[in-house]
Structure 1
Amino acid sequence: MSISESSSGPRTLRRGLAVLAALRDHGSTGLSITDIARLTAIQRPTIYRLLAALLDAGLVLPVPGTKKYQAQWATRPNAPTPDPRVSQALPSLKRLAERTGDAVFLVVRDGDNSVSLHREIGSYPVQILATYAGKRQPLGVGSGGMAILAALPNPVAHGIVERNSEYLDEYGGMTPHEMLRLIENTRSRGYAVVGNHAVRGALGVGCALLDPQGNPMLAISVTAIIDRMPALRQREIASWIHAELASLSLRGA
């Protein structure tokens, strides 16, 4: 059973339909998470889980260049070209999902945001599905994004945190001060450890792949329920991610 399926069927269905109806009524303009919560009276963590399922089903799409979503009622005639980074990293993502049993994510930077390119689901009965392909959020909110953010020079990283400061509270009450502390922790530890701010009780471990100049190219993260993430396992998972990133680097990713 995944966290996104933990509610009773009829109630979850009604909530999902309410989200779809709200998005339908606003057409291509789309709605943000905050907008959907206001219109449907559904709590934001639940909306994240519903959107994850609706995105997977192709019923909802992100509005490009925004933090909004829109309903998608028909199959798009011209599907976007798959990102080559996904095909390059896919064997690593699958191995990590099989090895850990948990959800694995491929994340890249887009300006001040992180974008999830792909996720692989593990075999453990409870999966963290709040993040999905195409999801954008402030860089550093998730463990993959934090690994990228911490790899940037201080002036760049601090500038990103400052520009995103007005949005951070939407993610579990994250603050700029906490974000800066996580950056320092990530640098000293060598990998990011971040509680999932969309789903309570979840924790992610993320590591970044750097180019020869030390610039972050992408990150891979593994997210699970906190009970599965004691400190020893966090280190173990980080070592597995680092090994996969090293193989990607050798292949020229």
Structure 2
Amino acid sequence: MDTPVSVVARVGATLRAVAAHEPDGATTSTLARATGLARPTSHRLLGSLLEEGLVDRDADTGRWRLGPELYLLGGAARSRYDVTAIARPVVRRLSVATGESAFFSARRGEETVCLVREDGSFPIRSHVLHEGIRFPLGVASAGLAVLAHLPDAEVRAYLARADLVTDYGPQHSARRLRERIAAVREVGYAVNPGLLVEGSWGMGAAVFDDAERPQWALSLTGIEQRFGAARQRELGELLLRAAHELTRTLAGR
């Protein structure tokens, strides 16, 4: 028999899985796999969430999407948690200055969630990131930047329990991540050399809260040819300056 705590945990995991597949939506089977639930269990849970307006279902495709009630709940909480209005001008300046797609992501537990995307002027774009997509810490440049700036004890504990290889490949083993974390700590910014999608590179810098904890990140993505060594240094400096500016602004709000 499910306890109230386990039911809430399943609801939370299901809603996060649905959010990760916006805007196209996801099938029941996809969501069941993402949450580790049996398909019948996932289907019953989704049906209950549909009745509450927390998810919606496309009548033609059967795919699940986030529901209208979440929009209303989010609007009520916006004044306390929304920092995108502060971050968006910084993200836009990065996209204009570099020509690349620029992003602002927030740390949520052991994940980063993309909150803002601004496309630059360069006509070829990477579509790995979009608003609402989630990645575990250590995956994509934003998550790597955040992970690298956590205390050593937290990094060790996370790498000991996280299995990133199954979903993201051997380049995300604990040993490889420790190597990349060391590189981030040396230069200050993270580089993702096409580890999620071949040829799509990313760079990220952590943004800190007033307790000096990495809670957000700014990042850039683009094609490999535009991320040579010399330009990496140029983009890294831009990211670090923008991250410092945003850290100061958020700390003073």
**Residues of 2 paired with 1:227 and 1:233: CA distance?**
10
**Residues of 1 paired with 2:245 and 2:28: CA distance?**
47
Q: Secondary structure at the match of 1:152?
A: coil
Which residue of the other structure, out of 71, 77, 87, is the alignment partner of 2:64?
71
Deviation sequence 1:66-116 (CA, Å, 0-9, x none): xxxx622x8625512355221110000011111111111112222222222
- Give yes or no for contact 1:138–1:168 (8 Å, CA) kept in 2: no
Deviates more, 1:75-84 or 1:179-188: 75-84
* 2:174 partner amino acid: P
Structure 1 pair 78/176, CA: closer, same or farther in 2 (3 Å)? closer
**Residues of 2 paired with 1:125 and 1:211: CA distance?**
34
| Cross-structure match for 1:138 | 136
| Cross-structure match for 1:168 | 165
| Cross-structure match for 1:54 | none
Structure 1 pair 213/93, CA: closer, same or farther in 2 (3 Å)? same
**1:4-15 to 2 correspondences below 5 Å:** none
**1:96-245 to 2 correspondences below 5 Å:** 96-164=94-162, 166-173=163-170, 174-245=172-243
**Residues of 2 paired with 1:122 and 1:234: CA distance?**
17
Q: Secondary structure at the match of 2:182?
A: helix
- Give yes or no for contact 2:100–2:120 (8 Å, CA) kept in 1: yes
Which residue of the other structure, out of 68, 82, 86, is the alignment partner of 2:84?
86
**Residues of 1 paired with 2:122 and 2:221: CA distance?**
12
* 1:104 partner amino acid: A
Q: Secondary structure at the match of 1:32?
A: helix
- Give yes or no for contact 2:209–2:250 (8 Å, CA) kept in 1: no
Structure 1 pair 156/107, CA: closer, same or farther in 2 (3 Å)? same
Select the structure of larger CA radius of gyration: 2
Deviates more, 1:208-217 or 1:75-84: 75-84
- Offset of residue 223 of structure 1: 1.0
Q: Secondary structure at the match of 2:168?
A: coil
Of all paired residues, the percent bearing the same amino acid is 29
- Give yes or no for contact 1:203–1:226 (8 Å, CA) kept in 2: yes
**Residues of 1 paired with 2:176 and 2:108: CA distance?**
22
Q: Which consecutive residues of structure 1, in runs of 5 or more, have no partner in the other structure?
A: 1-18, 36-58, 61-69
- Offset of residue 32 of structure 1: 3.1
The TM-score normalised by the length of structure 2 is 0.69
* 2:34 partner amino acid: S
Q: Secondary structure at the match of 1:170?
A: helix
Deviation sequence 1:177-234 (CA, Å, 0-9, x none): 1111110110011111112433111111111123454321211011111110011111
- Give yes or no for contact 1:103–1:129 (8 Å, CA) kept in 2: no
The TM-score normalised by the length of structure 1 is 0.69
- Give yes or no for contact 1:142–1:196 (8 Å, CA) kept in 2: no
- Give yes or no for contact 1:142–1:195 (8 Å, CA) kept in 2: no
- Give yes or no for contact 1:194–1:203 (8 Å, CA) kept in 2: yes
Q: Secondary structure at the match of 1:128?
A: coil
* 2:133 partner amino acid: K
Structure 1 pair 196/247, CA: closer, same or farther in 2 (3 Å)? same
Structure 1 pair 137/34, CA: closer, same or farther in 2 (3 Å)? farther
Deviates more, 1:231-240 or 1:105-114: 105-114
**Residues of 2 paired with 1:221 and 1:205: CA distance?**
5
**Residues of 1 paired with 2:245 and 2:93: CA distance?**
12
**Residues of 1 paired with 2:33 and 2:166: CA distance?**
18
- Give yes or no for contact 1:144–1:207 (8 Å, CA) kept in 2: yes
The number of residue pairs the alignment matches comes to: 200
